[in-house]
A and B are shown apart, each in its own frame.
Chain A
Amino acid sequence: MAADLQASRLHIPFVPSRPGDRPDFSYVSLSPAGEVPRPDPRLPALETQELSRTLVRVLDDEHHAVGPWAPRLEPATLRLGLRHMLLTRVLDDRMQRAHRQGRISFYIRSLGEEAVSVAQTMALRGGDMLFPSYRNQGAFIVRGIELVAMMCQLLSNRADMCKGRQLPVMYHSKAKNLFTISGNLTTQFPQAVGWAMAAAIKGTDDVACTWIGEGSSAEADFHHGLLFASVYRAPVLLNIVNNQWAISTFQGYAGGERQTFAARAPGFAVAGVRVDGNDFLAVHAVTSWAAERARAGHGATLIEHVTYRAAAHSTSDDPSRYRPKDDYEHWPLGDPVERLKQHLIAEGHWSEEQHATLVEELGALVARSWDQALQYGTMAESSLMDPSLMFEDVYKELPEHLRRQRDELLAERG
């Protein structure tokens, strides 16, 4: 007997490849395109177990849209989706350069994940409230936030929507139903549920939609969000963008080693769906399905988008220290922009020439917008800005002690 007894031993999550190793994505469980059935959106949450473990995919290897999830989208809509994704990417590239040139203090790219924000926002309605994370710039692009406005936020200049108070990329738009972004992880998750509860209390059919990374699903707010969404059957789309890496932390450390992230949902009696996050059509279809479910009073859906963070976490990060340099080249789900482009070409709705022209056009648009944004100043010239802005909006009315502190600062500056 004694010989069979073993001391417990701490399990350390497996990380398939580190710098110098061959990239290995054999841990990613895939389903062939078109294979996963599309149930009625009103099905009971507990019956989504299969959906939460398989992978909804629409685009096949020949770039055709196949299976029951293939959305019937007009070519013009698809071309618009391609444009939004490309614009997001071109903007990211230019702003990354602006950081290298010392024009902005920080930046976060969404390279490789553009389909998530773009397809989802396109599949929702303008009245639906979005609670983004710091890698959802595509949602702002889709909702028509001016590039100049985004750039002025990045520059913390006179026209900055945040009045110089937030790190770059922490955009918002009250008018376009885009909530202010927090640097603190996952706080938006239960907040989106609360907004959805308010919509239900008011009796509207608007839904809320929010995003976190798979790493952030470790925070308690993730569990709070799921529980309240379940208890009150809130009309909300809860998204986990599983891009495999949370700075240096591999998704296995967030609990993704032996279970999908979407599979947590049925345990809360919330619908769970796992989708190919680099497949624009699949993301669009799953989002429409979840929105229909929510609007019909059947509650929340937790959607896991399987994708890959092709860029660094931020301009403060160097991923070559913790993962193979050529990791992304081996990512089995490809690139979302390229896949939609090839689909449109395969269907005869797009061409390489049109694509090249579009890239050029968007590059010029971004360059023009950047020049305009710089007219409003840069952070380095913050003396042009009014420092008394610092004291405003702490409260609705400026209290006496802040008025005194403001006057003290103004006197100090002379």
Chain B
Amino acid sequence: MARMNVVQALNSAMDVMLGRDPAVIVLGEDVGYFGGVFRVTDGLQKKYGEHRVLDTPIAEGGILGVAIGMGVGGLRPVAEIQFADYIYPAADQIFSELARIRYRSGGDFFSPVTVRTPCGGGIRGGQTHSQSPEAIFTHVCGLKVVMPSNPYDAKGLLIAAIEDDDPVIFFEPKRIYNGPFDGIPDKPAVSWSGHPRGEVPEGHYTVPIGKAEIVRPGTAVTLISYGTMVHVCENAVRELGVDAEIIDLRTLSPLDVDTLCHSVCRTGRCVIVHEATRFSGFGAELSATVQEQCFWNLEAPIVRVAGWDTPYPHAFEWDYFPGPKRVMRAIQTVLELQ
């Protein structure tokens, strides 16, 4: 076991896979010589060569288009889109092509592309470096959508994504690259070294796609979250001292309905927390699913905590970010404590 942050864990996942499988190839803007603007691919080109780790032109649509073709040609491409905010030029290649090649060819063709992309705010990135567009991708049939919340899951899920024969959109919450973030920006940064999930095996292992994890068992209320917001939820629950169950989805699609609904049926109360905007956000799908499956067990209406329905502003970042205060208020509401 080694101590890793999320950046190192993701790097290790690609390192392991490049070493094990000659079909694995990494491509993207600045990923080769430079090692990526967030250093996630640092050292990989030096180790595996310019034919395995490719610097590309600045063309997201092009990156996805050639990644699909490489996948059809027998490779297993891991494409980086430098910021999730810049993924939209590749939307047609992802939505209309990558997601449906298997379906439209009667199961004959497939392209096992993994798309890695940093998402989320809290880094003073303004409206073009802070978005959380995961819900858009969960709406597309044929894509798997993943977002880890810690180094151990990041590595295990990325290896699982690369080995998966279906396309996986792999969102990396950049606010937790270097340490867990509990939603209080004024506190000194915390590193992953003290966190149990900062302990990561150096070799090959997987975390299964499609399985949520109960990160804190409890009985009073179920909190459903993923990515950075898992840590914000943990903070809110600590502050309030309630016996909440916290579920880290890890995979958004396909959704681990059983884990969620067993939990909510037990607790009878549910708070859904994500950083992305609220309207038609992934919380809407979660809320509908929980209501369908757990209606007769619910003791209170489901409450969603999400980003406001505006672009991510530069100046009001902490008024925008759905921090622990908002999560605590939501918990109090469903527990009818206020």
Contacts and interface: CB of A to CB of B under 8 A. Distances in A.
A409 interface: yes
A372 to B, nearest CB: 19
Contacts of B30: 247-249
A401 B309 contact: yes
Given A253-B56, A255-B57, A248 B314 contact: no
A105 interface: yes
Interface in B209-253: none
B203 interface: no
A165 B316 CA distance: 8
Contacts of B61: 219-220
A216 B58 contact: yes
Chain A contact residues: helix, strand, loop or mixed: loop
Interface stretch (B8-16, B106-114, B120-128, B283-291): B120-128
Q: On chain A, which size bracket covers the interface?
A: 35 or more
Contacts of A247: 29-30, 34, 37
B116 interface: no
B326 interface: yes
Contacts of B310: 390-391, 394, 402
Interface in A208-262: 215-216, 218-221, 246-249, 253-255
Contacts of B309: 394, 401-402, 405
B307 to A, nearest CB: 10
Interface in B53-91: 54-62, 85-86, 88-89
Nearest to A214: B58
B279 interface: yes
B137 interface: no
A321 B309 CA distance: 39
Contacts of A394: 309-311
Contacts of A253: 55-57
B51 interface: yes
Nearest to B307: A405
Given A247-B30, A322-B33, A156 B314 contact: yes
Given A164-B313, A246-B58, A254-B58, A322 B34 contact: yes
Interface in A172-202: 182-185
B128 A387 contact: no
Contacts of A312: none
B128 A183 contact: yes
Contacts of A215: 57-58
B50 interface: yes
A248 B37 CA distance: 9
A167 interface: yes
Contacts of B292: none
B308 interface: yes
Given A183-B129, A401-B309, A219 B59 contact: yes
B62 A165 contact: no
Contact of B86 (A184, A390, A413): A184
B323 to A, nearest CB: 10
A106 interface: yes
Contact of B314 (A164, A219, A322): A164
17 contacts: A165-B126, A165-B315, A166-B126, A183-B129, A219-B59, A219-B60, A220-B59, A221-B89, A248-B30, A248-B55, A322-B33, A385-B316, A387-B319, A390-B316, A390-B320, A401-B279, A409-B308
